[in-house]
Amino acid sequence: MKICVCGKGGSGKTTIIKLMADVLRDRGCKVIVLDSDESNPALYRALGLSAPPCSLMESLGGKRAVQEKMRAAMARGEEEPALSIWQQDSMSLKDLPSDYVAENRGIYLIQTGKIERSMEGCACPMGVVTREFLKKFSLHTGEIMLVDMEAGIEHFGRGIETGVDGVVCVVEPSYESVLIAQNVMKLTSSSGASFKGCVLNKVMDEDQEMNLRSLLDESKVPVIGRIGYYQEIQKASLAGMPPTCDRATAEMVPIVDRIFK
């Protein structure tokens, strides 16, 4: 199963990915994390890695080479949702060169690419690469893929969610985050993908949780669980260390049960 995790910037997608990956790994799954957020550079640190792997963009010759392939395909009359960048029809973890996969304690990280220079242009090529990679990447028995999406909802315009089995939205205690969750559910449904629900994150107390649930319930946005606000997670994140917390992990267990039932 492939699950993408999205939400407002700063909502804690990276933390939710890490907690979810730990629970799945401890249940015997081989967890593959795809970092498709071109602006957030910290996911590899959250997974306990000392350096990120080489990017998928590099394996294709870099952003300029991908742009040239996109222009050539469009000149042939291909529309963007059907653009093909990869030569192979399918691929799996074992097909990727070792430099393009980083592993720590049974969790594997793959990275689409990052914006690294000023005036580099739009991130559309990275979106095209991510979309096609998700569609062509085959999971073997016991493998699960978690996709860390960029903040917001722009990726829905690129059709990235069409290559996954489900979408989870992280909601922090803010009205903007609630509005994004409403849009994520609507856009997921219109794309034909499965909206698994929202995970409330950084919840300070019961009153705050009830307020969030009430706002989401007004739009019939399902909530599949909550993770509290924990100082040890915030301190680890500030230090660039894996955000680990026994209480948060315990709260993640029933969330994983609902997503992967």
Domain boundary assignment for the chain = 2-259
pLDDT (0 to 100) of residue 159: 64
226 pairs with which residues across the strands? 200
Q: What is the pLDDT of residues 69-80, one digit of tens each?
A: 777 777 776 666
pLDDT (0 to 100) of residue 74: 73
Between 116 and 32, name the one with better pLDDT: 32
pLDDT (0 to 100) of residue 83: 66
Q: What is the pLDDT of residues 2-42, one digit of tens each?
A: 999 999 988 999 999 999 999 999 999 999 999 988 778 88
Half-sphere exposure of 260 (CA within 13 A, CB side): 22
Other Cβ atoms within 10 Å of 64 Cβ, number: 12
The pLDDT of residue 91 is above 70 = yes
Q: Which tokens in the block code for residue 160?
A: 């990235």
Q: Residue 77: CB partners within 8 Å, gap ≥ 6? A: none
**Rounded average pLDDT over 36-49:** 88
**Rounded average pLDDT over 84-89:** 77
Residues 165, 192: contact at Cβ < 8 Å? Answer: no
Reported residue count of the chain is 261
pLDDT (0 to 100) of residue 119: 45
Residues 34, 198: contact at Cβ < 8 Å? Answer: no
Strand-strand pairing, 30-35 and 166-171: unpaired
Q: Residue 185's pLDDT band (boundaries 50, 70, 90)?
A: very high
The backbone torsions φ and ψ at residue 35, rounded to the nearest 5 degrees and listed phi first, read: -90, 100
Which residue is listed with tokens 């997503």?
A: 259
Average pLDDT, the chain: 88
Strand-strand pairing, 30-35 and 107-111: parallel
The CA distance from 214 to 20, in Å, is: 25
Residues 138, 90: contact at Cβ < 8 Å? Answer: yes
Between 43 and 80, name the one with better pLDDT: 43
Rounded to two decimals, the pTM is 0.91
Q: What is the pLDDT of residues 205-232, one digit of tens each?
A: 999 999 999 999 999 999 999 999 999 9
The CA distance from 147 to 168, in Å, is: 10
pLDDT (0 to 100) of residue 85: 75
Residues 212, 200: contact at Cβ < 8 Å? Answer: yes
The pLDDT of residue 117 is above 80 = no
Radius of gyration of the chain (CA): 18
Between 120 and 112, name the one with better pLDDT: 112
The proportion of the chain whose per-residue pLDDT surpasses 70, expressed as a percent, equals: 90
CATH of 2-259 given 3.40.50.1980, 3.40.50.300, 1.10.3720.10, 3.40.50.720 = 3.40.50.300
